[in-house]
């Protein structure tokens, strides 16, 4: 996978969970996960410690600023407001 993409799971028309997949080799699996203290964000890491994705367990609580703070800590470009908007729709 050469580009990142946001996958959102909906339940009853509302965002239930989401994951921003980061670029990585096809078939590469998560070797470690690290949750934020409140468990709202979970980062999946490859065996070589590269981030593979960021899970959002409660999309209705996480803000774009907070999410982008995690991405910055991972050395990733921020998510644009229009990319984040589907999480707050409905």
Mean pLDDT split into 10-residue runs, the chain, 90 residues: 88 91 89 93 95 94 94 95 85
- The answer to whether the CB of 86 falls within 8 A of the CB of 8 is yes
Structure pTM? 0.89
Q: How high is the pLDDT of residue 1? A: 65
Sequence spans of domains, the chain: 5-88
Q: Is 43 exposed, middle or buried (0-12, 13-18, 19+ CB in 10 A)?
A: buried
Q: How high is the pLDDT of residue 90? A: 58
Q: From CA 13, how far away is CA 45, in angstroms rounded?
A: 30
CA dihedral 75→36→86→17, nearest 10 degrees, is: 130
Around Cβ 51, how many Cβ atoms within 10 Å?
21
Closest CA to 19 of 9, 11, 10: 9
Q: How high is the pLDDT of residue 25? A: 84
Closest CA to 58 of 74, 78, 34, 38: 38
């Amino acid at each position: 996978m050469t580009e990142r993409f946001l996958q959102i799971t909906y339940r009853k028309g509302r965002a239930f969970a989401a994951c921003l997949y980061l670029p990585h080799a096809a078939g590469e699996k998560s070797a470690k996960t690290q949750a934020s203290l409140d468990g709202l964000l979970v980062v999946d890491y490859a065996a070589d410690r590269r981030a593979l994705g960021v899970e959002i367990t409660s999309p209705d609580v996480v803000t774009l600023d907070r999410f982008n703070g995690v991405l910055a800590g991972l050395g990733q470009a921020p998510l644009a407001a229009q990319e984040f908007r589907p999480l707050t729709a409905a």
